[in-house]
Amino acid sequence: MTGSPRTEEHGQSVVVFVIFLVVLLSFVGVVIDGGMYYVERRDMQGTADAAALAAIRELPTSTGQAYLRAQEYVDSKNASSHGTLISVEFDDHNRMVTVTVGKTGSQHFGGIMGLDAPAISATATARVQMMGSRPGMLPLAFMKDSYVIGENTEIKWDDPGGGNRGAIAPEMQPNCSSASGASDFRDLIKGSAYGGVDACATPIAETIDTETGNMSGPTKSGFDGRLAGNSQSFDDVFAIDPVTGFHTIEDPDSPRVGIVPIIENLDGSNSWPNGKKLIRIVGYMLVYIGKEGTSGSPAYTNNGKSVWVTPVRPLLPQDFTDGEFVDYDADLPSPVVFRLVD
């Protein structure tokens, strides 16, 4: 005697339902495990990013120290969630480091289904670079090797004999036309933020004109307009990072923060040419504008005939994106930035 058709159909339905339930639970398990893998990889990416930034601060000086910094940072994290150090690779003359961390993914449902837990990894690349050209330089320049970082220095000077005295004539916004004469010199000192005009960005290795004469009146007027009674001292604007030895910018919006190019004669020397001549830009630096040790830290002395600045070598924040970046060069005092590039 055979079973009724309804009983057979019911049995088939149960089998189909069980198969469907197994498939559904498998998909749910894959989704849950996949979500866990995503969270774990996100945590590991943060670890890789931070380890790369820790390592790059030792470059290009010491790859050994860079490796140790990456290892120390990764070891300070929980390996079960943040992974372990897989590799540290150096490139571009040790100006770039790539850090990889990895682990075996945590598994909840995949193991029940006989699936192997996947290997998860995260990679981050950091680079040490320098600030290149950007708008807003002062119409003043230092010849290479004519300054000391941290030393208050006369960047424009009084010379009864005439000739060049530290002034330059960069191109001016908005059309990047060549600056010429006293009024342009005054407006470039002020900059657009203080009622003047910004200089256009001139790439490193390009040439720029010198500006002859002293122009003490426009110097006075320009810095009076720029500083407008600001009496910030050097320590109000810059500080020393005890770890790296670089300066940090305490007040990036201060009118006493200036950009000046480092230049050389076209023959490669560090002597100012006679007359209005082309000179070559070899880098840029930030300076504190003011005569230190003098009440009010005036930008100029001798009725505008002399201008005083303190060159600094600052460490820029990693999210600094203004202007262009150039390769790190230990011989230049250009502002340094350690940043993630991948």
Are 182 and 231 in the same domain? yes
Q: Does residue 231 register a pLDDT over 70? A: yes
278 and 199 in one domain? yes
Same domain? For 48 and 188 the reply is no
- What's the chain's average pLDDT? 87
- How many domains does one find in the chain? 2
Considering the domain architecture, whether residues 122 and 147 belong to the same structural domain is answered as no
Tens digits of residue pLDDT in 73-131? 999 988 777 889 999 999 999 999 999 999 876 665 555 555 556 788 999 999 999 99
Mean pLDDT for 321-339 is 85
Which of these ranges, 63-67, 180-184, 224-228, 314-318, has the smallest mean pLDDT?
Answer: 314-318
pTM to 2 decimal places? 0.78
Which of these, 228, 222, 232, lies nearest to 304 by C-alpha position?
Answer: 222
Tens-digit pLDDT profile for residues 104-119: 766 655 555 555 567 8
Alpha carbon distance 26, 58 (integer Å): 48
Beta bridge partners of 325: 131
Residue 226: domain span: 142-340
* CB-based contact 310:152 (threshold 8 Å): yes
Measured between alpha carbons, how far is residue 13 from residues 3, 22, 27, 82, 112 in Å?
A: 15, 14, 21, 46, 25
Q: What is the pLDDT of residues 211-223, one digit of tens each?
A: 988 899 999 999 9
Return d(Cα 169, Cα 257) in angstroms, integer.
20
Whether the CA torsion 92, 318, 194, 308 is positive or negative: it is negative
Is there a single domain that holds both residue 116 and residue 219? no
pLDDT for 3 equals 55
Give the distance from CA 135 to its chain's centroid: 16
The CA distance from 34 to 222, in Å, is 62
Domain-terminating residue out of 81, 96, 126: 126
Q: pLDDT (tens digit, 9 = 90+) per residue, 195-211?
A: 999 999 999 999 999 99
Residue 35's pLDDT is what?
56
Of 72, 101, 126, the last residue of a domain is 126
